[in-house]
Each structure stands twice: as C-alpha cells, then as structure tokens.
Amino acid sequence: MIRTENLCKSYGKFEALKNLNLTVDKGTVYGFIGPNGAGKSTTMQILATLLKPTSGRAWVGNLDVVEQADEVRRIIGYMPDFFGVYDNLTSLEYLEFYAACYGIHKHLRRKIGLELLELVGLAEKQDTYVDSLSRGMKQRLGLARTLVHDPELLILDEPASGLDPRARIEFREILKELRVMGKTIMISSHILPELASLCDVIGVMDQGELVASGSVEEITAHARQGRTLEIRVLGGLEEAKEYLETSPQVLSVHLEQEKILAKVSGDESVQVELLSGLVSRNIPVVRFSETSMNIEDVFLQVTRDSQGGKEHESIAATVE
Amino acid sequence: MNRLRQLWSNPVLAKEFQWRMRAKKTPWIIFFYLFIMGGIILSFLFLFKKSQNWFDPNESIYLFTGLSLVQLMMLAFVIPGITAGLVSGERERQTLPILLTTTLSSSKIVLSKWVASLSFMVLLIIASLPLYIIVFLFGGISPDHVVKVFGHFFVTMIFLGSMGIFFSSLIKRTGLATVMAYVTVALIGIGLLIALYLILTIHYSLHPPVQSPASAPVIAEILAGLHPGITLIYAMYSDFDFGGLKPVINLYDFYLVTYSVLSVLLLIGSVYFLSPVRFKVWKWVFRPKNKEIKAS
Ligand SMILES: Nc1ncnc2c1ncn2[C@@H]1O[C@H](COP(=O)(O)OP(=O)(O)OP(=O)(O)O)[C@@H](O)[C@H]1O
Ligand SMILES: [Mg+2]
C-alpha cells in the first residue's frame, strides 16, 4: 500500500529524511514512532501529497505521490498533527463540506456525515458548532473527516495527542473498528504503549532514518536480546563500572543515579558470573536483578542506541 | 459552460458565500461603503446646486466621472482588504493542508475564492447604483459612458482581487499580505501619478511646446495607461490631453488589456504558490498543448 524508495527531504541544509525505505502492506496497521523531530510528520506529509520530496520516490497504492497526486488524494484520508476547523459550521455541515470537496453527490453527503458522526460517537453533537467542541471531540471529528470519501489508506499524525486516557481508549476502539473494515492505517505517535496493542507492524524512526521495523514482538524481542541488569551498590560505583566494562559479556554500561544498568549477552550463568565477580572484588552489592522491559523501555533503548550511533546499524540489520 | 457550472457548485465557493452572508461585518461593510460614497456625492451635488440653479450636461459628466473615481477609490480600499486574507487566512487557521489533500485542485480553490470575493464586490456596486441614478436624472450621460465605466470597474475589480489573492498565496501571514496589497495599490494610484508628473515636467522643459497638437512621450502614455484614474477620465472626455500633449495610444483599451493579462498571470501565480507540489502547475498550464498534440 505504501512504499518509499530512498526518500529524502531537506529543509535548506537540514536533512529531515535520509534515504527512507519503508513498506506498508495492505490491510495492516502501521505504527510510526520516534522522538520529536524524527521526521514522522515529514514522511506523512510527503505521502499525503503535501510536500515534495527532495529526492527519492514514494508510492501509495502503486500511485506515485508526486506524479499522480490527484489519484493519490482520492484513496487517502490524512489527518495532520494540528488542524483547524471552520468556526461557522456545525459538525454535520463540516463533514458535508469535505464530502463536497471530494465531489460526493449532494444526496449522499448528509447520510455519510450522519453515519460517520455515529461511528466516532458524536451523533448527539451534529448541530453543535465545530469551534465549541472540546479538543478530543474535534480530534474525533477530524478522524470522521478523513473517512468521508471512504479511503483505502488512513494517514493519522498523532491522532491521540491531547486526549485523556478514556478518550484514548475510545479512539483505539474506533481504529480497531476501522481495521476490521479493512482499511490500511498509518498512525504516528511518541507513545509506544498506545500503539502496541493496536499495530501489526511498528516502524521506529529517529533523526530521519528508520532505525527498526517489525512486529511489536520482534522489536521487543530484539531489544531484549541483550538483557539488562539493574545493579545497585552501596559504594565502589566506579570500580563496579570498571569491572563490568571489562567483562566480555557486557555490551554496555549506563549509570543512572545510584544504579548501574548493564546490558549483557548470554544466559543466566553470565549473571552468576558477574555477581560473583563483583562480590569477589568486595563491592557491596545491594541489588542485582534483571529488569523486565516494558515497551517504553524498548522505545527509549532503540532510539537512545541510535543516538549513540554505536549499535543502531546492528539493530536495523537484525530486525530487517 | 459545464466548467462554469462546476465552479458554481464548488463547495469552497458555497462556503465562502455562506460565510460572507452569515458574517456580522458584512452589513457594516455595505453600509459604510454606501455611506461614504453617498456622502461624498451628495455634498458635491449640494455645493454645486448652491451656486447655480440649472445643471449643464457637461457638469453632469463631470459629476459622473467624479462619482466613478470615488467608486474606484473605494474598490481600491475594500478589495485588497477582503482578498489578501483568503488563502493566508486558511493557512493561519490550519485548514489549508486538509483542503489541499481533498480532490479539489489548487486552481479550483483559488478560483472559487476569487469568484466569491468578486461577487461581493459586484454586490457593493449594485448597491451603489441608486447614487448613479441621481446623476443620470440630470441627463447628458450616454450609454457609451456607462458601458465604459462599468467595463473599467470590472477589469479593475478583477485585477485587485487577483492581486490580493496572489499576495495571500505568496505570503504566509495575512497581515503582511494585506500590507503588500495596499502598497501595490498605492504605487499604482499615487506612484504612477508622481512618475508621470516628473516625466512630463522634464519633457516640457526639454521640448517646450511650440504648437498645440504635439504628442506625449511614449513612456508617459504607458504610465498614464496604467493609471486607473487617468484612463477613466480619458474614457469620459474625448478631448483628453496632458496639458497640450495628445496621447496617441488608446489609453482606455491599453488599460483594459494590460490589467486583464496581469490578472490572469497573478491568478496563475496564486495557484502556483498554493499547490504543494509546485511543478504540477506546469502540467496544468501545458495540458491543453498535450491534448492538441494527441488530437492531431
Ligand atoms: N517547514 C520546515 N522547515 C524547516 N525545518 C522543518 C520544517 N518542518 C520540519 N522541519 C524539521 O524537520 C525535522 C523533522 O520534523 P517532523 O515534523 O517530521 O518531526 P516529527 O517526527 O513529526 O516530530 P514530532 O514528534 O515532534 O511531531 C525536525 O527537525 C524539524 O525541525
Ligand atoms: Mg510530528
């Protein structure tokens, strides 16, 4: 459904996207995560025909987003990260207006509008002026708007930002419904847990590059490949760090306040070895445990590693 | 014809109309427009009638021209104000990206906004017609004068509207776009006059007029032909000259043609700066050519 080939976008000298290669299959829900400024919105704007790539190409449903922009617009529904509404329209009129923009016949507009308001749970707000809706309601109305022409692909840029936890859950339910309807959905977020339960595939972006992509399990499994040990000592922090850094099984050591976080490879016998090593050096260990990684740690790790630059190639390589 | 009907059923156009008619300031704009125009023309009439109690047809033309010049100035004041925000306002409201991802083309968006604002101007002019009727009642104005004046208004409106939209599309901020539009209006309205005055003064000092029917320098004629006020006066008075120098070219026709061409260019420019994937415009411009090639 979506394919990009060495997609690049520069703003002046700054390269926001660097040779992005991305594939999203039809019918999947693709979660796009990454820290601020990673280039998620830029990618989505290019796919939505709003931005011209500096070089490289991109296709949506086998249509080139630059050459066949008109045809692409017909099959996508795009929701920007920030969008305004016309203050003089009611919710229903708002949807009818965009339906008209897509050339939908006059008699169908109202019906489509009502159905969509029903879908996003705004049925009782149909006569409310759009600017008096709450932020979350506007967001839901925005989602309804992306659907007026029944597109095959939805490109949603941080649709859940600014929503309270309950609204997020409701939003997720709506997206699940859309997935059942067979739509391909590309959704961006900074918050991985929000996406984890929803997405079939996740792509992690950082500094204009795709640093990891795969199913949620794959990414988590990969990040866990080296397990992380959390070690707390009462003294001899430097000494402990030095020892850990010299052991061959330890991949990396981070100091976090009073804790040492060590990423190690191998099985549990390695842990035993390291613990006895620390104890034999008379380092007062108070805590020695394997951290259980939740999905947020995975996100932090994947993006932090790529910032370190040291390991991100290996990550990209193994996950691909 | 079919295209025209498509444009009329355009949702952006419909919404612009609806918005303009629902807006609270619309009646005020109409009111002030008529108030100022009526005020000027009635006080003018009043002063005239005081000195003499009959009206001569020449003075009637004088009044008609004066009224039309006032109307022209009003257009120059109002149109940039209502058109310079059409695209940038949409951008500032953050509704433009969404509009651009719909299947509406950039040219349709620009054209429908343009048509909507011009329709409003036509409404203003129609509302001012009763003032003209007062002048007509004194007689002495031929249908030819009327046609010429309204032709002039029409082209001027089209140009001012296109220019407002152009700046609105080119410049991201409505404020700056509005300023640029008014600066352009001032350059045309006042700048041209000053330039013309300087050129004629220099010309006179270099070539003191010997006989009456001498011709003006070409550059002066071009500058005069670009000035809305001068061309309007030219159209009203067949014996128009620059203090003894008779223009060779038809200033009125020159004005209509130049500003029509400029309007088209400005509209194409607006579409160009609006469309996100810019070179698409070139495809749009060259499309008729391609069709011809295919057909032959
Ligand atoms: N119009 C622009 N002009 C210059 N630089 C830009 C422009 N738009 C984006 N950038 C830069 O491109 C980079 C990527 O921006 P982008 O908006 O794609 O990030 P993002 O992943 O969506 O971030 P966020 O999570 O904050 O929304 C940023 O460093 C940003 O500063
Ligand atoms: Mg973003």
Residues on chain B touching A100 (C-beta within 8 angstroms): 11, 14
pLDDT surpassing 80 at residue B109? yes
* pLDDT value at residue A293: 58
Same domain? For A31 and A163 the reply is yes
* pLDDT value at residue B279: 47
The residue-averaged pLDDT of B139-156 equals 88
- Which residues 6+ apart lie within 8 Å of A11 measured at CB? none
Same domain? For A155 and A228 the reply is no
CATH code where residue A163 lies: 3.40.50.300
B64-102 tens-digit pLDDT: 888 889 889 989 998 999 899 899 999 998 899 999 999
Count of CB contacts below 8 A, A vs B? 66
Same domain? For A63 and A14 the reply is yes
Tell me the residue range of the domain where A86 lies.
2-214
Which range of B23-32, B187-196, B229-238 scores highest in mean pLDDT? It is B187-196
* pLDDT value at residue B5: 62
Domain finish residue from A214, A232, A258: A214
B258-287 tens-digit pLDDT: 999 999 999 999 999 988 765 444 444 444
Contact B92, B177 (CB under 8 A): no
The residue-averaged pLDDT of B166-190 equals 94
* pLDDT value at residue A320: 34
**Helix, strand or coil, per DSSP, at residue A24:** strand
The residue-averaged pLDDT of B238-247 equals 73
* pLDDT value at residue B48: 67
Euclidean distance between CA atoms A186 and A33, whole angstroms: 11
* pLDDT value at residue B39: 86
Same domain? For A7 and A132 the reply is yes
Same domain? For A27 and A171 the reply is yes
CATH code where residue A221 lies: 3.30.70.980
Best CA proximity match to B76, nearest among B231, B238, B226, B186:
B186
* pLDDT value at residue B294: 38
Residues with CB under 6 A from ligand 1: A 11, 14, 16, 34, 36-42, 81, 190
* pLDDT value at residue A222: 64
* pLDDT value at residue B55: 59
* pLDDT value at residue B288: 43
Q: Of B22, B94, B102, which is closest to A83 when you measure between CB atoms? A: B94
B38-49 tens-digit pLDDT: 888 778 777 766
Query: Residue A24 is encoded by which pair of tokens?
Result: 């999203």
Domain finish residue from A214, A240, A265: A214
Low-confidence ranges of chain A (pLDDT < 50): 308-320
Q: A156 — contact with chain B (CB < 8 Å)?
A: no
Alpha helices in chain A (DSSP H): 40-47, 69-75, 91-101, 106-119, 135-146, 165-180, 192-196, 216-225, 237-246, 268-280, 295-308, 312-319
Q: Taking CB atoms and an 8 Å limit, are B102 and A98 in contact across chains? A: yes
**Reported pTM:** 0.80
> Which of A118-131 are b and which e, b meaning 16 or more Cβ less than 10 Å from the residue's Cβ?
ebbbbeebbeebbe
* Mean model confidence pLDDT for chain A: 83
Q: What is the ipTM of this complex?
A: 0.78
Place B252 in a pLDDT band, splitting at 50, 70 and 90: very high
Same domain? For A149 and A290 the reply is no
Domain finish residue from A194, A214, A234: A214
The total number of structural domains in chain A stands at 2
* pLDDT value at residue B238: 79
Place B209 in a pLDDT band, splitting at 50, 70 and 90: low
* pLDDT value at residue B230: 92
Query: Residue B233 is encoded by which pair of tokens?
Result: 């006066």
Q: Taking CB atoms and an 8 Å limit, are B280 and A84 in contact across chains? A: no
The alpha carbon dihedral of A115, A120, A122, A124 has a sign of positive
Kindly report the nearest CA distance between residue A9 and chain B, in angstroms.
13
* pLDDT value at residue A314: 38
Kindly report the nearest CA distance between residue B267 and chain A, in angstroms.
21
Same domain? For A133 and A228 the reply is no
Same domain? For A240 and A259 the reply is yes
Angle B251-274/B143-170 helices, nearest 10 degrees?
A: 30
Best CA proximity match to A76, nearest among A183, A152, A23, A177:
A152
Q: Which of residues 43-72 of A touch B (CB under 8 A)?
A: 45, 48-52, 66, 69-70
Burial class (CB in 10 A: 0-12, 13-18, 19+), A146: buried
Same domain? For A43 and A187 the reply is yes
Q: Which of A28-32, B23-27, B73-77, B217-221 has the lowest mean pLDDT?
A: B23-27
| Mutation site, A50, A63, A67, A101, interface B, largest B CB count within 10 A | A101
Give me the phi and psi of A228, to 5 degrees please.
-105, 130
Same domain? For A206 and A247 the reply is no
* pLDDT value at residue B169: 93
What are the distances in angstroms from CA B237 to CA A128, B149, B226, B231, B251?
58, 12, 17, 10, 12
Same domain? For A31 and A18 the reply is yes
Same domain? For A232 and A279 the reply is yes
Q: Pick A44 or B209 by higher pLDDT.
A: A44
pLDDT surpassing 90 at residue B161? yes
